Structure 1
């Protein structure tokens, strides 16, 4: 038989049942009568039902004169107390309770003694204020090692039972290892402990195990079980949660660091609402996201959102308050004094939080590398920014000249016109490529179509044009002879042109802008004139295939020409997969395509007189000139833009958390807990009437942080009792309250209420330290018994 089983039997035999303070021969309502009412009577005479108008959980109802003229209880008078007459009646139509069998003689005796002694009415023991109390007096002054032993020994002496002897060293070390870190000691560790006869050996072992990283793994798991931790969503899909482990890691680290239990609660319930919440505090709210998640097609998301809120409300009620709140979801609790409206007041706290994702920064080597890269890029950006600022001052005259020239060009309102080249010839640097030049100037390409670099040269002469050439127009045309109708020769009808050049004599003319009817993602038409022949720098038109497209390339400066001037246009393709243009047309442009020269917002600014522009408009105009027009500064902006692209992203993991809504939802009591059946009863966030009220940080407003603060406040007696009982359960195999999750009237009473209260009060006194509380328990003589 294990130590835990043995000790549990001893606890039950020696401790229970127990009175909550006072003399042993005095029947107390909270510990003797109320549990009896809860087990046998409240189903018909409680908060939910009041047959005959009688409630046995309220003193005013117990003392009230009923319709029959009798009162259920007349303090000190058994003959006039209707409850005594009914429980002792032999008439089957009158005896109470009517089902489940008559009360036992012992139960009847308790009720008689209670009424006879004055029927003192007390609140349920778990709701009473927490008082540490004085340590009991014991005869044996030698046995105890700390206050826990005083409580245990006092009961043993009262029953005339002697404590068990201390367990053998090899038993104690195994007990500690399994309880504190969940792992067995090695044979060498057992031998070393057994042979160490020093008085401090045991205490030193306890401290070493509490400091072990395995302590967090062992005790973190206890908490994760309560927090319903899961690595997958549940329901039919049960999708994995790849980053769920970050919350698990947070719990283990918090436990190893001995984060105070009040802070442990606050960060999980409302870490996102803390002032300047850290990433780890935001991560802690993943506690709320351990609910089931339904990702099935057609699922009603509002239904499952409410299901998650029910789970959050009831989980918090269980693990911190030790109450079965789920009963009150559908109706007023049948046994505990928890009306349905109280349930939805708690529910409202979580109804005002939205499920969201958070990019959690990842610390360690990846973060250090990120910081190094970030510093380097920031230095590069700083230098580029300084160079740009210098350029702004340096190129003021060029900026003014550019403005004047564009205002003049736009004032002419010279619409663009397009002109064919005369005496046109087309050649390629690739042998076997064929060209058919039609009368309209359209060129059909055929023959060889290899991968890699390929150049087409279109040579011709300027016809009778009276105006300067301002650009060229390139049409990419469709044809039934092309794959998928073209306009390219690739199997899907696409093409890639990497560069277009216009040459007069030996001079390559500069383009200043480009636009197209359509550009493929990452293959913008502007790349035709960027000076690069790289495979990734070109113009393409997917997915708009099987359609004609055109591009207009504006010269930076108008080109004066005469009739017969020779010009050459080069189309450069450097791409794999036969992406050659299959049918095209080249024409010269005269006049102004103002949209290509400058976008509409810039044209609007140029239309204003300089004195009419505000500072923001002046800056926008200058920025456009330096970024897109002036060659020297274009390179500076390009360099800065390239540096920005290289800026690393902070290493992060996307985790599931919650965040407070900007505008609270309206919360209404739901009929039978059905999300589609809200009643007309609207409730605001609030607490349970049986416990002290919640005080908010702001008057008239309560949120999850207020709730969390209240939960672990000095006024709330339940959490320290519940949490201390949890520790006792994990170390002894059974809690002082055996119904771990039910401290309500239907739950079992503490087998040693004074000890439970002392533990709960000491938990607080020691700053909510889990490790100190565990150390206190395991260093007691009670724990070390054989």
Structure 2
């Protein structure tokens, strides 16, 4: 790296040639300015227009990472940039303008060999105006505590239904846009059912809402959905992506581990609307709470969700380092929307997280693991050392115990006031029966991994993340140095301290991160699109005032998740039609300003659950065991240590919701893979949405979907004898959620006739189709006719509209 940059630089080629090592700065800045917004004559904002550009293109060599900083030029601070690269108030005298405007190939930025495009006239103008206005820096918006702004005034004041709408509409009006009309009732009821429960409404449930014209009908529907058991299951799937919940260890043999009561804890917490701050504390440090309950200890299983190994030859130091890094990544991404994991090997290149910050945060978890791997044999005995486990109840058993305890208390109270006679003997008998029931239920424990604190290990900075290099500095537990610190009066910072800090009012990220993700679930994209990273590489929010208002509302509501969701889904913004509008294509093609609702494909779990629901196969049972759907034979053949053969569930548990499906990290079920579910090896805040032939083939051929189609066809044919057209209309309504059009019925009629002819001529094909799945075909129905209707139902389950949220 070349010499030092000097203040008052000129723009001559000679001067530039003396500092070739600074070229990377100009490469990044010039290319990144392509993405900046001119905002007309408005002075460009550093946070909104400039920081994302510098972060994306420049900070790698001229940012927070002192180990890679080139030519002593630092652009992430105002002091560094103004000292060497920018003359505030004088763009023409600043080296920056000279570098991006010169035609000299030896000095121009970006360099010719960088393959980066030159700046356009507009982009250079933006840069000039920012410098001429003083080139003022601002603290990164996400690290500044949110302020509760008053909802702005709007011109179309008859549209807003709550404060959310005032923020949305004010932003639309600034852009010269108007909101869309409200969605029709059939569309709206299907949307809100999927968003809050992950399931479709039945035709009867949809009709009940559509026909209810009384004031507050929609709000009452929202309350019912939020109070349903299905709500907690829907929210749990979202949370499991973040905390990488799975049923297997991930590394090496990918063996199973015992953690299902944690799954039930999460579902229970969402259904009971456990405040999010308490939800956070119990997972990170439930074992450190005074006299923790069973569920709080189960919650501490969060610390065990990471990938590990049972390999006999594993090095403990290596896996302790892996676990440490994994926990830092997950905590920072789940709660802070921060990529602190990047600092494992070097200071973060874009945000002010240092390597020492990474290991200090990891040191907070130094009381969790004794071994790095979990296959260590004691010298004195032969037991296998595994993560600490406890016996816990799953939700069904827990609820049965609650019911039995309530009955026992009632009977004991009745006995206290009853004379010793015959009405007494009966009560005594009932009490003994209930007490016997409770003893039986107490035996229905299930082992689950939990956290039991050990004496904290010494933690060091690992140079370049090398677990074999123990020469680094010993660190004490702590949070990133530039954030509000945890005060402990000299006591070691614990996991409980960290958890409370994450949900404190002094910590500006957690509330923003969580409401941004809830917005993304309901509107298709977050107010900041980068829902896993609110750092310098993240997107400036399209409506920061709204994001901050929601964050404050979340905290002041007592971290009430249901309250925030209700605010969002009852807003006029949420209720809008999702139909495209031509005038929006040029102004807001990604619908970031929410001038309409968004349309997107359902998650993998919802797609399967929808098929089971519309067919009538779905079994609603909250909590309990693990379901194993049908899977291709031999799919697990590569798994060893031990070898294993997949066995699908062959009772009614086969048809449970997908949140209960066995999650094998290395060999995720093909249906989940086809619809972009994550392996849950790392935190996933937003799933990709792909459109591949594999997805269509799954919908047509996966036994779960074929069986659902056949059962749906059976129900249709077993109903009162009707014409084909009426039957097709009813199936369409059940599957798609709206009345069919004449041309749609006509197409289905043609498909039905085609398959009738096929299966009438090929009875063996019909028999093979009807054998798929574990439910038996109705022997009273004509096999060729049932097979033909099954084919029609398979096609309906494959429709884009069927697997899309509006």
TM-score range for the pair, normalised by the shorter chain length:
0.5 to 0.7
Alignment match of 2:446 (pick from 649, 653, 660): 653
Q: Which residue of 2 aligns with 1:60?
A: 79
Alignment match of 1:359 (pick from 386, 390, 403): 390
CA distance in structure 1 between the aligned counterparts of 2:399 and 2:122, rounded to whole angstroms: 69
Q: For 1:680, what is the secondary structure of its paired residue?
A: coil
CA distance in structure 1 between the aligned counterparts of 2:236 and 2:268, rounded to whole angstroms: 8
Q: Which residue of 1 aligns with 2:575?
A: 784
CA distance in structure 1 between the aligned counterparts of 2:36 and 2:230, rounded to whole angstroms: 37
Q: 1:217 offset after TM fit, Å? A: 0.3
Alignment match of 2:484 (pick from 687, 692, 700): 692
Counterparts of residues 489-508 of structure 1 (less than 5 Å): none
CA distance in structure 2 between the aligned counterparts of 1:36 and 1:200, rounded to whole angstroms: 47
Q: Which residue of 1 aligns with 2:10?
A: none
Alignment match of 2:530 (pick from 739, 744, 749): 739
Q: 1:348 offset after TM fit, Å? A: 0.7
Q: For 2:357, what is the secondary structure of its paired residue?
A: helix
Change beyond 3 A, Cα 1:776–1:714: same
Deviations 1:280-311 (A, max 9, x none): 11111111111112112212233223212211
CA distance in structure 2 between the aligned counterparts of 1:659 and 1:774, rounded to whole angstroms: 35
Q: 1:723 offset after TM fit, Å? A: 0.3
CA distance in structure 2 between the aligned counterparts of 1:777 and 1:261, rounded to whole angstroms: 17
Change beyond 3 A, Cα 1:107–1:700: farther
Q: 1:648 offset after TM fit, Å? A: 12
Indicate yes or no: 2:505 matched with 1:714: yes
Change beyond 3 A, Cα 1:348–1:137: same
Deviations 1:426-482 (A, max 9, x none): xxxxxxxxxxxxxxxxxxxxxxxxxxxxxxxxxxxxxxxxxxxxxxxxxxxxxxxxx
Q: Which residue of 2 aligns with 1:73?
A: 86
Q: 1:263 offset after TM fit, Å? A: 1.0
Deviations 1:5-25 (A, max 9, x none): xxxxxxxxxxx9889xx9981
Change beyond 3 A, Cα 1:179–1:785: same
Q: Which residue of 2 aligns with 1:625?
A: none
Counterparts of residues 672-683 of structure 1 (less than 5 Å): 672-683=464-475
Alignment match of 2:198 (pick from 182, 191, 194): 182
Alignment match of 2:163 (pick from 139, 142, 147): 147
Q: 1:659 offset after TM fit, Å? A: 2.4
Q: Which residue of 2 aligns with 1:171?
A: 187
Indicate yes or no: 2:514 matched with 1:723: yes
CA distance in structure 2 between the aligned counterparts of 1:332 and 1:132, rounded to whole angstroms: 33
Change beyond 3 A, Cα 1:368–1:768: closer
Give me the TM-score of the superposition, normalised by structure 2: 0.58
Q: Which residue of 1 aligns with 2:7?
A: none
CA distance in structure 1 between the aligned counterparts of 2:121 and 2:452, rounded to whole angstroms: 57
Q: Which residue of 2 aligns with 1:44?
A: 61
Counterparts of residues 467-546 of structure 1 (less than 5 Å): none
Q: 1:756 offset after TM fit, Å? A: 1.1
- Work out which of the two has the higher radius of gyration on C-alpha atoms and give 1 or 2: 1
Relative contact order (alpha carbons < 8 A, sep ≥ 6): 1 or 2 greater? 1
Q: For 1:736, what is the secondary structure of its paired residue?
A: coil
Q: Which residue of 2 aligns with 1:214?
A: 230
Q: 1:368 offset after TM fit, Å? A: 8.8
Q: Which residue of 1 aligns with 2:744?
A: none
Deviations 1:381-401 (A, max 9, x none): xxxxxxxxxxxxxxxxxxxxx
CA distance in structure 2 between the aligned counterparts of 1:318 and 1:649, rounded to whole angstroms: 38
Deviations 1:290-344 (A, max 9, x none): 1112112212233223212211110111111111122111111111111111111
Q: For 1:660, what is the secondary structure of its paired residue?
A: coil
CA distance in structure 1 between the aligned counterparts of 2:390 and 2:345, rounded to whole angstroms: 37
Alignment match of 2:343 (pick from 315, 321, 328): 328
Q: 1:650 offset after TM fit, Å? A: 6.5
CA distance in structure 2 between the aligned counterparts of 1:103 and 1:277, rounded to whole angstroms: 60
Q: Which residue of 2 aligns with 1:228?
A: 244
Change beyond 3 A, Cα 1:170–1:148: same
Change beyond 3 A, Cα 1:261–1:767: same
Indicate yes or no: 2:154 matched with 1:135: no
Q: For 2:451, what is the secondary structure of its paired residue?
A: strand
Counterparts of residues 147-546 of structure 1 (less than 5 Å): 147-241=163-257, 243-354=258-369, 356-362=387-393, 364=398
CA distance in structure 2 between the aligned counterparts of 1:158 and 1:649, rounded to whole angstroms: 62
Q: For 2:364, what is the secondary structure of its paired residue?
A: helix
Indicate yes or no: 2:721 matched with 1:704: no
CA distance in structure 1 between the aligned counterparts of 2:289 and 2:574, rounded to whole angstroms: 39
Q: For 2:181, what is the secondary structure of its paired residue?
A: coil
Q: For 1:52, what is the secondary structure of its paired residue?
A: coil
- Is the CA contact 2:460–2:475 (under 8 Å) kept in the aligned structure 1? yes
Change beyond 3 A, Cα 1:208–1:85: same
Alignment match of 1:666 (pick from 449, 453, 458): 458
Q: 1:371 offset after TM fit, Å? A: 9.9
Q: 1:44 offset after TM fit, Å? A: 2.0
Change beyond 3 A, Cα 1:102–1:647: closer
Deviations 1:353-390 (A, max 9, x none): 23642323436488699999xxxxxxxxxxxxxxxxxx
Structure 1 residues without counterparts, runs of 5 or longer: 1-15, 65-70, 373-645
Structure 2 residues without counterparts, runs of 5 or longer: 1-34, 371-386, 407-438, 578-806
Q: Which residue of 2 aligns with 1:88?
A: 101
Q: For 1:331, what is the secondary structure of its paired residue?
A: coil
Change beyond 3 A, Cα 1:762–1:106: farther
Q: For 1:679, what is the secondary structure of its paired residue?
A: coil
- Is the CA contact 2:388–2:452 (under 8 Å) kept in the aligned structure 1? no
Give me the TM-score of the superposition, normalised by structure 1: 0.59
